[in-house]
Chain A
Amino acid sequence: MVTLTVNGQVIQAAEGQSVLHAALAAGVYIPHLCDHPDLEAKGGCRLCSVTVDGGDVPVPACTTTVAEGMVVDSRTEAAELTRRTSMELMLATHPADCTGCPKYGKCELQSLYQYMGVNGQDWRMKSRPVPNNDSNPLISHLFTRCIRCGRCIRACQDLRGVKVLDYIRDGVGVHAGVPGGKSLVEAGCRFCGACIEVCPTGSIVDAVGVMEKHPAYADNVVPCRAECPAHTNIPEYIRAVREGRPGDAVAIMREKLTFPLTLGYICNHLCETGCKRTDVNDPLSIRNLKRFAVENDKEQTWKGKGFMKPRTGKRVAVVGSGPCGLTAAYYLNKLGHDVTVLEKRPQLGGPMTSGIPAYRLPIEGVNAEIDYIIQSGVKYEVNHEVSDVAALKKDYDAVLVAVGVSKGKKLGFLPGANFDQVYTAIDVLADLRANKDISYLGKTVCVIGGGSVGFDAARSLVRKGLTVNLACIEPADKILADKEDQVEGAEEGVNILPGRSFEEIEGTQEKVTGLRVHTVKSSTYDRATGKVTEVAVEGSQTVIPCDSVIFATGQYTGLQDFENFGIELNRMGYPIDPETGKSGFKTSVEGIFAAGDAITGISFVIKAIASGREVTSVIDKYLGGDGDIEETLVERTADPHIGEFPGFGTLPRVEMDVIDPETRVKNGDENVYRTYTCEQAHCEAQRCLQCDLRLQLETVKLWNEYGGGE
């Protein structure tokens, strides 16, 4: 350690530290601008001028190394003169009017002229106008405001090694910019955002809208992670994939997710809608990278890692073993509680093992993920339907209702809906998953409903050799299921009939013969009343001949069908929290909680997992714990030096190879896609902008954060 005096205060500093950083670390403020904690000091701006040991030649504190017994003062006349002159010169070329600047109020230059009380009117003002450039994705350039501190250039050249930004000399003067008038994509920009983060003025800023979606700053910087309901550390696991460490990637996923493989196959990937690369060309294929990582994770080093708290002696029952229930069970067990999962079906897993068809999600993978949870110490009982949840309170300290929405709805108003050969998709899918005989459907079926469950049923049945019609009221461009489902379903032979309104199921109680429909020009659905208004195409009535009809028109909890489930339910069968009048983690009975689809209605596996994690914290706190389930399963490394990469901005999104439709239908349960090869995964992973690196950069503290007035 070195002892020195700065502005009359005796401070300690580390050997080799700069005077500036030593002073700032000790809470002694010295103005500074071109210095940045993450960049090499250049001593260019002269705002940190100090005099040393009574000398009268000011030196920059950022490039002066501390020495034992040194006496430094930033307030001497000579230091002040240099500093003020430098600031005045900067302001003489900076636009006088800050009010239209997006950085206003968060600008280091503004904070500095406020601190120094300099307004720059003593010099000949010479603005150096450079046209604003909003033509690049994600990053706006407004170099009229550039003060030539070079922070963006050092960040781009040295820290990141991307070497896109440099000093530009044009007719007007010098400013930072992209040489040769190239666009950022042409110049090989990697859109890491370091330049934005270090710019002390409003010269380089996030494009309009980028930073306005979430309340938290970090969420706007890394939107994929924010959009993921479980907040999986996506950039970190993509980095691990790119660097050939699929095991580490899975460990990172496992910090937030209990079913990474399942998600790798069927996640609705909200993360991809958040991906900033969408503005450059196409979003990262995050889901497919996840699938690749899990399938190539040979070591499984994450196993057995993470917290396992001492046993608390508290007992928790989890009703339902879908992704929400099992996730909650897994974490509650790790928190030390004794957990028993009660499942009405013969096997655990909910929709993962009894709904989602095999051609989308391989059963062995799901079972391995369930086994890991069971082996961690969770007890379970299958074929155990709970009809009175309140009664469980006798044996358990807390109960979680995570029953999902396992009952299919039929459109009861449709004449014939009660015929024998009218089924619900969820029941048919369960039979298919259990390899049961489905000859009861006959040879030709009509599926009603164009959501993903409808397509699951239709595409599964095509694979069983049936003739399948799928009709829905939505027009072709508004079909609810993914585009993928529609295209692939059609390729496989599903006869998709959009824009159809249903009149009657024809036939008798014992024998369905067809579905009578007509075509609609338009229809609107009023969510509040549940009423559909339509404009029919005259003379479009037809009968689709079929042996059975399958409803895929929604699902419900089924809890209202029990005589008394023991907690307050709303009219639709969802538990409600009387305090708020809405469905939430709490129910009408203390100690009984609810989560997952049972409080939100039908949703996605990732949402259920996130809900399971959240409710775990609530239950743990109820049982006297701290509710903390955060854990780190692998140490992180992230090299800030990402290097040059010509053509980075145009790297195309790598799609998985898809099996041709004929083979797909013939192969039945086999997945439609081929998991990425190592090469494909690497190619796709290297497209990541690594937005998270920006959060490594320190925020410069302004003078007003150095505490009290004088």
Chain B
Amino acid sequence: MKQLETDVIVVAAGLSGLAACCAAAEGGARVVCFEKASTTGGAANMGMGPLGVGSRIQREHMIPLSPIEAFRKHMYFTHYHVDPRLVRDYYFKSGDTIDWLCNMGVEFVGVQRAFGADEATRPYSDGEFTWHVCKPEGGGVPGPRAASGMMKKMTEYAQSLGVEFYLETPVKKLIQEDGAVVGVVAVDKSGEEIECRAPSTIVATGGFGDNPEMIKEYTGFEFGKTIFNFAVPGMKGDGMKMCWEAGAAKTPIIMEIMYQLPDNMNHFIIEGAFRQPCLWVDRNGNRFMPEDQIGNTTFTGNAISHLPGKVAFSIFDSKALKRYKKHGPDIISHVHPHDLYDHFDEQWERDLAAGYEPIAQGDTIEELAKNAGIDVDGLVAQVEEYNAMCDAGYDELFEKNRAYMQKVEKGPFYCCRQTVGAYGSLGGVKINHKMEAVNEDARPIPGLYCVGTDACSIYGDSYPFVLSGNTMGFCLNSGRIAGENAAAKVGF
């Protein structure tokens, strides 16, 4: 067994781990970081950018939101079910962290909110401009993966500060002596064990999105049945288990809910095409929300999770399809291809022929309902009522934006079953505002910090899209704060 000794150990090199590495090394500490994958950045490579409040960029854009306002908004959103001191310290750090990244050479295109809410719903669901979206190198439109460049900058910065990365070397357990965590045991690609000892260990393993058993046990969802979440390989909940074994208390755990199709990568065009404010119903054929809200993936995902069978059905007719093809979609997503409908027919025919289960077509509403598995009488009645309201130009039920009140009348009709998705798990390990893992009595486990999504229990039940960029924001700032504290502990 190989033996190592250092000041700070960081378990995993995702966003929170890299932030911890950089902060601890900046503080003068010697840092060793163990990572399962052969690249750094973890799930953040797919992200677009973090939250920050009070950053240089926001000031330049004359965005007046202050950390304490963000704090209050967050606490209202969560009904004070979460640790106010932790939330406070996070928001107060977050603006400076954006400046910190800028000094590393990270570039942002500007500050955004999660999505522009429809006018009628703006007072309820519009977000603050907190989302610092990373700029693709050499310019261009940012999209998913935009944050990968930031991960490169952070990795290079960490390397320049002397952080030692052990790639493809997952940590298997924490070493605990007299109650204190004093190091870790990792295993490298050749199977050799490495024992590393340090006064501080920062666990940052990113939750359990890739562990169906834990998803079932802690959130009740069944992966591949009632939830189709991102399962970034390797996110098995290892770090959470290690912290719990070391005595850390458990917090409630949620999935970071949105909605998506099963095997969505291979049916991306279909997924995008049906994310429109057309007619949305449950299994019994009943509408369940104002469809102009479906751009809010958090709310829509939550709503679907409470429907019978945890499924919804998005339906449009041939006229609508023709309109989408001609004028483009009603709601433009920043995730799906821009030219969705150019490829719709091709993919639709292929998926239909291949028997892709979530989709169905019918020449009549009855036939559609039968093929899709919706209650036939229910859907017929609902379509009749909906079409009458469209004629009247007013949605008596939910007052949906009248621009979207388009009749469902001309066959063939198209339907796509929508299911609950999630970005991953959130929370699990109880921490304090110093990012120390704590026991049931809120006493720190000496030597142990836990950061990022393993410890992100500040949302209550739902992703606070009103303060967008929150998940990456919490990863960055919790990691950074833990890194600073761990370095301070060894006397730098």
Contacts and interface: CB of A to CB of B under 8 A. Distances in A.
Given A99-B43, A119-B142, A704-B155, A126 B343 contact: yes
Most central of B143, B264, B269, B354 by chain A CB within 10 Å? B143
Contacts of A114: 39, 41, 45, 148-149, 151-152
A106 interface: yes
10 contacts: A96-B335, A98-B46, A104-B37, A111-B39, A116-B149, A120-B143, A127-B337, A129-B267, A703-B152, A704-B167
**DSSP majority for the A interface?**
loop
Interface string B39-51: 1111101100000
B136 A98 contact: no
A310 interface: no
Given A96-B336, A116-B137, A117-B149, 14 more contacts: A96-B143, A96-B144, A97-B264, A97-B268, A98-B46, A99-B43, A106-B39, A111-B38, A119-B145, A126-B339, A129-B268, A129-B350, A144-B265, A214-B191
B38 A702 contact: yes
Interface stretch (A215-223, A373-381, A475-483): A215-223
B160 A709 contact: yes
Contacts of B441: none
B268 A127 contact: yes
A100 interface: yes
Interface stretch (B230-238, B364-372, B388-396, B475-483): B230-238
A284 to B, nearest CB: 24
A117 B138 contact: yes
Nearest to A129: B266
Contact of B266 (A105, A122, A125, A132): A132
A119 B233 contact: no
Contacts of B143: 96, 119-121
Interface in B211-245: 230-234
A656 interface: no
A710 interface: yes
Interface in A526-566: none
Which one of A91, A104, A119, A709 has the greatest number of beta carbons of chain B within 10 Å? A119
Interface in A120-174: 120-122, 124-127, 129-132, 144, 171-172
B439 to A, nearest CB: 30
Contacts of B137: 84, 116-118
B191 A216 contact: yes
Contacts of A124: 337-339
A227 interface: no
Contacts of A122: 140-141
Given A100-B231, A125-B339, A214-B191, A119 B146 contact: yes
A117 B337 contact: no
Contacts of A130: 266
A668 interface: no
A96 B39 contact: no
B191 A107 contact: no
Interface string B1-45: 000000000000000000000000000000000001111111101
Contacts of A111: 38-39
Nearest to A220: B191
Contacts of B231: 99-100
A597 B230 CA distance: 48
Contacts of B343: 126
A202 to B, nearest CB: 9
Contacts of B338: 124-125
A336 interface: no
B148 to A, nearest CB: 4
A121 B39 contact: no
A72 B145 CA distance: 30
Contact of A105 (B234, B263, B347): B234
A126 B142 CA distance: 17
Nearest to B38: A106
Interface residues of B, number: 60
Contacts, number: 164
Task: In the A-B complex, list the 7 residue pairs whose CB atoms are closest, starting with the nearest.
Answer: A105-B37, A117-B137, A216-B191, A117-B149, A709-B156, A125-B337, A709-B160
B212 to A, nearest CB: 13
A111 B148 CA distance: 9
Contacts of B263: 100, 132
Contacts of A181: none
A110 interface: yes
Contacts of A131: 266, 354
A88 B142 CA distance: 12
Interface string B237-261: 0000000000000000000000000
A709 B148 contact: no
B187 interface: yes
Contact of B159 (A101, A144, A707): A707
A144 B347 CA distance: 13
B413 interface: no
Nearest to A83: B138
A419 interface: no
B339 A117 contact: no
B157 interface: yes
B306 interface: no
A389 B348 CA distance: 79
Interface string A59-100: 000000000000000000000100010001001000111111
Interface string A215-243: 11111000000000000000000000000
A102 interface: yes
B398 to A, nearest CB: 30
Nearest to A107: B39
B449 interface: no
A705 interface: yes
Contact of A119 (B140, B232, B264, B347): B140
Contacts of A80: 138
B190 interface: yes
A115 interface: yes
Contacts of B138: 80, 84, 117-118
Contacts of B274: none
B346 interface: yes
A121 B264 CA distance: 19
Contacts of B136: 117-119, 121
B221 to A, nearest CB: 16
A115 B268 contact: no
Contacts of B36: 105
A110 B45 contact: yes
A101 to B, nearest CB: 8
Contacts of B155: 704, 709
Given A120-B143, A709-B156, A97 B335 contact: yes
B81 interface: no
Contact of B189 (A118, A129, A144, A216): A216
B165 interface: yes
B148 A218 contact: no
A306 B203 CA distance: 47
B38 A105 contact: yes
B159 to A, nearest CB: 5
> Which of B36, B231, B265, B346: most chain A CB closer than 10 A?
B265
A254 to B, nearest CB: 24
Interface in A500-518: none
A129 B348 CA distance: 11
A343 B469 CA distance: 74
B39 A100 contact: no
A144 B264 CA distance: 12
A95 B268 contact: yes
Contacts of A88: 140
Contacts of A709: 155-160
Nearest to A106: B38
